[in-house]
Amino acid sequence: MKSVEMKVRPKPVTSHSFKVGLLSFSDGRLRVHNTLADTIQRHAAVLAKAIEGDPLLTVTEARAIAHSSRIARDMAREARGAGIEVALFNIPVFAFPNYSLLAARILDMPVALSSPKDGTLPGLGGIMAAHGALRQIGLKSRKFWGNPLEEPEVMAELSAYCRAAGVISRMRGSVYGLIGGRSIGMNTGAVSPQQWMMEFGVDVEHIDQLEIIRRAKGVDEDEVNRAYSWMTSHLGKISTEGKAAPENVKQQIRHYIATRGIIEDFGLDFVGIKCHYDLSEYFVTSCLSAMALNDPYDWNGPKEPIVMACEADGDGALTMQILKLISGYPSMLLDIRGYDSRNEVYVCCNCGALPSWYAARSDDPRENLAKVFLEPVIPKYGGGGAHFSHVCGEGEITVARMSRVGGKYHMFVARGEFIDFPREKMAETCAAWPHGYIKLDIHPKDFIDVFNANHAHVVPGDHVKALEMYCELMDIAVDKAG
């Protein structure tokens, strides 16, 4: 598989960033600390500049350098009060390791320990001693030795670690909205609220799909008409026949607006909607909700993508939320449909909708939507509405999936590429559904052996390192094939 060169870090389309707390540590003897303070501060400036180079990270620096237990304790408490989500300890000297231990115990989050490669200073010993102290009591940390502004590998690892640690903090206290329940008998998507709270700190709010139907009756009809006009003026092709009759598509719009209100009123961070077969059989499918919620825009302008997993796939939604947070991009859900041996691509599609952003990966919604066709819902479903079909534009991607093996979470992680094909190829499966053609350096037999679900999830770019670090910090096994 060819490598896609990423000379410039792509700009995320989500608005979130992780707050990195930068805490510096020193020798406990005041006279010695006074000789080291300028050196410590210089390396802190290097770290701050490096971290700010990652568009998903911002820095909050402690007011003082810890050269006593009291200062270490106080600045850790201040950092917690400032809402930091990642802890970065600046240790360019042999700082007393008990100061790092005190601060880390108060912060209760994974710690990055940084020291420059400077033979005149014992910083390597400093981070090794601090790391050992943290490990003794089961705290998570990782050592980073080098200058991230001068060594790209150090910067890449530090950035990946900060993103991974940030996801852990951001997930704690978040709320998943389970709208409906288990869909078409898929146990792999069922949620254990107790396990999610215990392992990830995520609460599960169960909401009936009837709430979508109830709220849809009272939405602003001016917005419904404006939304339909916006969509039909930008989409590449519009069907108005049969199940895609304007009133059915407008009902899908009402369901999206209703779901948007549910998310706001219940304080939900990500959601799954059952759809099959209650909504899809007797009302309209949730395809438009899946597309519009996951997109970084709608007819009202730019917005934060909200993860929505079709078929109430809980572990799928969990994977998508992790991918979105760690990358800064919309994530998606795809069914693994088959393998095209001639073109050596995995054929993936979904009856629901992928974010339209993936059609062209453009900041301009019009460029993306021009490649999306509004197609009638297929006869398989008794209800009405539209599918929104397109072929995902080519480019580097990360493929992932959380699953449970014997009750314990695993994550499949692989780097791949979307390969572009003409729209006509979709007719080999279902032309009305959006498709992604994925190239992986994994033989189909190896992939089938190790993959534990029918849904896979994707974000642009190579985030394998950050996901592996996330799994290491969370004690989640990483599944790889080949």
- Number of Cβ within a 10 Å radius of residue 475: 10
pLDDT at site 352: 83
pLDDT at site 14: 78
pLDDT at site 1: 40
Name the average pLDDT for the chain: 95
Both tokens assigned to 40: 């410590």
Question: Is residue 60's pLDDT more than 70?
Answer: yes
Q: What span, in angstroms and rounded, lies between the C-alpha atoms of 376 and 472?
A: 44
pLDDT at site 15: 74
pTM: 0.95
Gyration radius of the chain over CA positions: 24
For 328, residues 6+ apart whose C-beta sits below 8 A from its C-beta are: 12, 13, 14, 16, 55, 56
Handedness of CA 397, 401, 402, 405 (dihedral sign): negative
User: What are the residues facing 178 on neighbouring strands?
Assistant: 206, 272
pLDDT at site 47: 98
Is residue 5 very low, low, confident or very high in pLDDT (cuts 50, 70, 90)?
very low
User: What are the residues facing 413 on neighbouring strands?
Assistant: 400
% of the chain beyond a pLDDT of 70: 98
pLDDT at site 2: 36
For 327, residues 6+ apart whose C-beta sits below 8 A from its C-beta are: 12, 398, 459, 460, 461, 463
- Residues 230-262 have pLDDT tens digits of 999 999 999 999 999 999 999 999 999 999 999
Q: What span, in angstroms and rounded, lies between the C-alpha atoms of 227 and 247?
A: 12
- Residues 66-91 have pLDDT tens digits of 999 999 999 999 999 999 999 999 99
Both tokens assigned to 390: 């397109």
Nearest in space to 134 (alpha carbons), one of 169, 102, 87:
102
For 50, residues 6+ apart whose C-beta sits below 8 A from its C-beta are: 148, 149, 155, 158
pLDDT at site 334: 97
Q: What span, in angstroms and rounded, lies between the C-alpha atoms of 290 and 461?
A: 22
User: What are the residues facing 143 on neighbouring strands?
Assistant: 113
* Mean pLDDT, range 218-237, rounded to an integer: 98
Which domains does the chain possess? 18-171 (3.40.50.1070), 175-479 (3.20.14.10)
* Mean pLDDT, range 162-166, rounded to an integer: 98
pLDDT at site 481: 75
Q: What span, in angstroms and rounded, lies between the C-alpha atoms of 192 and 184?
A: 18
How is 396-464 classified by DSSP, letter by letter?
EEEEEEEEEETTEEEEEEEEEEE----GGGGGGT-TTS-EEEEE-SS-HHHHHHH--SSEEEEEES--H
Q: What span, in angstroms and rounded, lies between the C-alpha atoms of 435 and 372?
A: 11
Tell me the pairing of strands 332-340 and 455-460. Answer: antiparallel
How is 283-300 classified by DSSP, letter by letter?
SB-SHHHHHHHHSSEETT
Is residue 6 very low, low, confident or very high in pLDDT (cuts 50, 70, 90)?
very low
Q: What span, in angstroms and rounded, lies between the C-alpha atoms of 28 and 385?
A: 69
Check: CB of residue 158 under 8 Å from CB of residue 165. no
Nearest in space to 273 (alpha carbons), one of 216, 226, 235:
216
User: What are the residues facing 412 on neighbouring strands?
Assistant: 401, 479
How is 224-243 classified by DSSP, letter by letter?
HHHHHHHHHHHSSEE--SGG
Is residue 10 very low, low, confident or very high in pLDDT (cuts 50, 70, 90)?
low
- Residue type at 247 in one-letter notation: E
Q: What span, in angstroms and rounded, lies between the C-alpha atoms of 222 and 464?
A: 44
